Structure 1
């Protein structure tokens, strides 16, 4: 009798385990998944980048006001969802309404939309409004709204009561026009027809757009951690011609492989960002979890930073020795964090900043740049290195940007420089590392 009971119990246990394994296999192999198809790095907005009055008053922003902002989609998807961030807000962020639309002429930075393309954004199962606590973010309900790679999407939001703080979340380096208007005009065909509408080149609150795609397509994303050079300082307003944008265009070209055509490019850079210290945004070492590992569908990572750490450290030999040592250690840590999730990490050499009138220009700082670049190139820690330094430096004086590629400030490339940087990115890396990497121990 006991043996019979034992056999029955054992058989039941085996059956339950088999079902559990079967369920786990099903859940670990979903037919579709979410992938970031656009993103920007959320940061605390500096007072110099706040919205203009009357949309910024003492203790409150965007009271009874609408925002219209445009973004550059990096991968096609039939169903999408919007992510709004209140990561650095000093109070709740109450979104009263939000809409999606196609811009009238398909251009970035335009105030007009195609009315027939308008779609309401909902939250938490059909709500048209949501209040996001400080430090949090909100993900919209899925929207059956086809998004197309390299096309522009317009996002409009209305805040009836405003956000009752002057500490808000945004991304100052949008490189595209945004519009602010009184009242709820999220469905208005052209907000520029209102005399009270104002504009600036900043994004506020919008953090990501995710696409829901069949896993069979192999769609995945690369997240790029960077500073103003990746954020596109000195690139053309409303043209989306930062170097990552130009990499995307290469990935979407007719001669790209099937793997390459299914890569979304997520720009997680911010002007003035540093690896070791907070400043314009959190430090890059502290951003790996949030801006790479927590992002939907990211299976590749890249870091291109360090110039602001070197350039803001003292010029004396001891200070430069310290910042060089710490940068190398921080890069090593970032690589380990990414490899722990079997994600390949690509690095990039730090580009020149020498030249008359450039505040960073200094012989000791240049020596640090060369030392850190030597480690980036030769350590073997990165899965691949893009040698941006070699691409844009002056062959006759390696401490400066080639004058043909210099925007004029001796730190940021011009349009040609950004184009050449994008061309230097080896697209075959996406094919090589499509199955990830083994963690190195």
Structure 2
């Protein structure tokens, strides 16, 4: 028999001047068939998902997403609580409400915040968000690269300590953000990127992405929100919407953010020459379009008062999927030269310099290479986090 905790009615956090800040996020997309749950799995089912905060606060709200749904999405009940290994809850969860109601219907293409819940959480807490779905959604708005274990059990169990006969997966669905109320908090950081930011190769439930390690280096004082999508490109849709198309939702709409780290472009370069050599004119045009998109991001972020830091594109000459050549390396060098040019980004995080082999600068250093010539090893992700100058995020003294 599952252990039951009585549900606590969510109490709205008292109105104060303290602002809301994103503490965790996940970029949304339509999962491919290899990452989607089988049809019918979510009908009359409780979905429990675990997310780790990067900064704490005295109240929480959850951002639910039907961004890619074609029909309204009904969540019949929801809760948030402290998570333990195995999808268990360490204490009774707080009921989530929506304009005071226990359920919500989210329009197609929309996100929906829950009501605030008075719930003190610390930096690096694991929170479990449980959703009860009465019907099977028409489309699964999702973040496939969760690198975290999620649980699905038939029936309504958002208040249960454990989920009976739960199936597991390593994806997130319908939850795009966690936000906390923080008084006197420094501005947070959004990391916009591809699989290298998403943490390709990181083992589930270990929280070893470079952004996780950066948050730990910052001591839990500065929120770090990961908005990476594996396979993502700056210019064209592929695995998920292109970076420029998702910039508003994934970056600019995040509350309490003061800085953006942009590390994208390696997939644009790789795809151009994956199937055939590109001409010099095509290569030059791609560089111009990538850097033009960077300039758009910078302008949009500056209009919101945000700083934008450019991450240089790391070497990938040994990658067998893209089989890059001298032309690919030339495009990478040209894009990196633009990133490093003063007056473009507000600052540069030189991941290329930190990660490359000193003797073969077109290749990752062997200790930092996961084995595919493109994605970092665990040591590589740690090195990336160390390459970020923490002085970029220190607030000037008044």
**Could you tell me the TM-score, scaled by structure 2's length?**
0.91
| Unmatched runs of 5 consecutive residues or more in structure 1 | 1-29, 253-260, 436-441
Asked if structure 1 preserves the Cα contact closer than 8 Å seen for 2:81 and 2:127, the reply is yes
CA offsets 1:231-288 (integer angstroms, 9 cap, x no match): 0001222111100100000001xxxxxxxx5311111111011100112221111222
Equivalent residue for 1:381, pick from 329, 333, 344: 344
Work out the number of aligned pairs and report it.
Answer: 379
Gap change, CA 1:152 and 1:44, over 3 Å in 2 = same
Equivalent residue for 1:283, pick from 239, 242, 249: 242
Asked if structure 2 preserves the Cα contact closer than 8 Å seen for 1:75 and 1:148, the reply is yes
Report how far residue 321 of structure 1 moved: 1.7
Report how far residue 384 of structure 1 moved: 0.9
Report how far residue 189 of structure 1 moved: 2.0
The DSSP-based 3-state class of the residue aligned with 1:173 is: coil
Gap change, CA 1:356 and 1:134, over 3 Å in 2 = closer
Asked if structure 2 preserves the Cα contact closer than 8 Å seen for 1:366 and 1:399, the reply is yes
1:42 and 2:28 are equivalent in the alignment: yes
Asked if structure 1 preserves the Cα contact closer than 8 Å seen for 2:45 and 2:133, the reply is yes
The more displaced of 332-341 and 408-417 is: 332-341
Gap change, CA 1:433 and 1:285, over 3 Å in 2 = farther
| Alpha-carbon distance between aligned partners in 1 of 2:92 and 2:55, rounded to the nearest angstrom | 19
Gap change, CA 1:93 and 1:433, over 3 Å in 2 = farther
1:113 and 2:89 are equivalent in the alignment: yes
Alignment match, 2:263: 304
1:179-328 paired onto structure 2 within 5 Å: 179-191=151-163, 193-194=164-165, 197-214=166-183, 217-252=184-219, 262-314=221-273, 315-316=277-278, 317-328=280-291
Equivalent residue for 2:97, pick from 122, 130, 140: 122
Gap change, CA 1:433 and 1:367, over 3 Å in 2 = farther
4+ long deviations beyond 4 Å: 432-435
Structure showing greater radius of gyration is 1
Alignment match, 1:157: 131
**Could you tell me the TM-score, scaled by structure 1's length?**
0.83
Asked if structure 1 preserves the Cα contact closer than 8 Å seen for 2:149 and 2:171, the reply is yes
| Alpha-carbon distance between aligned partners in 2 of 1:408 and 1:103, rounded to the nearest angstrom | 33
Report how far residue 433 of structure 1 moved: 6.3
Asked if structure 1 preserves the Cα contact closer than 8 Å seen for 2:195 and 2:232, the reply is yes
Asked if structure 1 preserves the Cα contact closer than 8 Å seen for 2:271 and 2:322, the reply is no
Alignment match, 1:421: 384
Asked if structure 2 preserves the Cα contact closer than 8 Å seen for 1:213 and 1:219, the reply is no
The DSSP-based 3-state class of the residue aligned with 1:84 is: strand
Gap change, CA 1:134 and 1:412, over 3 Å in 2 = same
The DSSP-based 3-state class of the residue aligned with 1:230 is: helix
Report how far residue 379 of structure 1 moved: 4.1
Asked if structure 2 preserves the Cα contact closer than 8 Å seen for 1:76 and 1:211, the reply is yes
Alignment match, 2:108: 134
Asked if structure 1 preserves the Cα contact closer than 8 Å seen for 2:189 and 2:225, the reply is yes
The DSSP-based 3-state class of the residue aligned with 2:248 is: helix
Report how far residue 161 of structure 1 moved: 2.0
Aligned-pair Cα RMSD in Å? 1.6
Report how far residue 119 of structure 1 moved: 1.4
| Alpha-carbon distance between aligned partners in 2 of 1:342 and 1:132, rounded to the nearest angstrom | 30
| Unmatched runs of 5 consecutive residues or more in structure 2 | 1-15
